[in-house]
Amino acid sequence: MTRSPLFSLPRALYLLIARFQSRNVISFFSGRKLHSFRRGLSTNNAQHQKSQTREEKELYLRLTKSFREKLVLKPQKPENLYGKVIETSILDTLKVLRGSNSGESEKLMVDVNSSNHGRLTKSELVKLVNKIKASTILNDVQQLKNIHEDMKHLNITDINIYNRILQGFILCKDIEFASRVYEEIRNKDLLPNIRTLTTLLNATMGTPSAHEYFQEIQTLKLKLSSIFDVNTILRYHITRNDNDSVQRLWQELVNQTPNIQATLINDKGERLKPNSFSYSLYTGFLCKNGMFDVAIETLRTMEHGVQPNSVNFLRHVIQPLAQNNHPTEAWRYLSDIRRKTVHPRNIYSKYYTFIIEAFVQRNDLNSAGRVFADMEEIGVDLDPRAKEIYVCIREALNVINEDPEDEAILNEYKII
């Protein structure tokens, strides 16, 4: 299987930076120069390129050479998307390399003052967590297994550190070993927290293991403490097509008010709110079960600033709305997503086609024409089905509408 260049980028950058570390390149990434380098990552920033020192420019070009070559080979990809990937990969890797000296422990979600770290000092704990992060970035399963062995010998009993390495194995696609680590946790009589089990549940969704992890959450009476936890349980119920449980959890999530004691709160005591993924999951479930009016009403009452923008939302909400006689709503939400995201434009092509087909089936050719005009304006190519519809509409309208006034209208909507 051919791997995308995106797959190998973090590893390549990590190896480059590790190689340059002995030449004091890492010390270059500090303070003002780190900010300068961050601004320089955009290849469109002409003003900054003029002000770059030779050292800055040389380092930037070395780190991005391979990826810029890929950019030339794939011109249809937006350049700023690659720039963001490059920036994130470099800066995240630098944080791992420098973490033990940069106050990184404040962000570890691990209590460095806990007595559950075995024989580790605070600084050693930070190094351990950073090793887990680095091994995960490099997709180095063997190194994660070595770290896991070290943790056993050090008698570490902090569940948050185990959560870290569980997540590492899952991100490296070794779900089986992650499950073995969980068995070890239980055999040690360590008490998992909600994140332990929702991480495993999310990774095993749709399998018998997922039900076992859900039952464990119920048995231990663990409270959902983040929107990730809520979304994972919501997705679990959706996977099982358990309508009652889906509706009960959703109402519990959206009906909380400041005047009533919330049942879904985070560790700070703040009530949890649905995010874009929550809405995508729930409205997708409604559409799958034919509850289109409820889905539309849910989308209309979304909390301010929340806008589903995932590809799953296109497939599970936009498409069924269009195919079930709700093209106007489908078009509106598709337009919102297109304005607020950086997806490649042609990812929307087939969803526009579903909407056009729905308008044509209604004999609403004016609306179909506006959709065609919208596609042309934003540069979305017509797929084969849309081209076929376009030709049929033109032929039909050229026969039926010969009045000059009709022709002007058709020109306005770019049908002729």
Q: CA 364: distance to chain centroid?
A: 36
Residue among 2, 21, 3 nearest 134 (CA):
21
Q: Does 240 score more than 80 pLDDT?
A: yes
Check pLDDT > 60 for residue 405.
Answer: no
For residues 230-250, give the mean pLDDT: 95
Average pLDDT over residues 230-237: 96
Residue 406 has a CB neighbour count (10 Å cut-off) of: 13
Selection from 215, 213, 220, 166 nearest residue 189 by Cα: 220
| pLDDT tens figures, 133-167 | 999 999 999 999 999 998 888 888 889 999 999 99
Please write the tens of the pLDDT for every residue from 170-192.
999 999 999 999 999 998 888 99
Q: pLDDT tens for residues 380-404?
A: 889 899 888 888 887 776 655 555 5
pLDDT tens for 296-310 read 888 887 755 666 666
Give the model's pLDDT for residue 313: 84
CA 160, CA 145: separation in Å to the nearest integer? 17
pLDDT at 6: 43
In the chain, % of residues over pLDDT 90: 33
Furthest CA-CA distance within the chain: 88
Give CA separation, 120 vs 73, 85, 166, 294, 343, in Å.
Answer: 49, 35, 20, 54, 45
| Mean pLDDT, rounded, for 91-98 | 48
H-state helical runs in 106-158 = 122-137, 141-153
In this prediction, residue 262 has a pLDDT band, given cuts at 50, 70 and 90, of: low
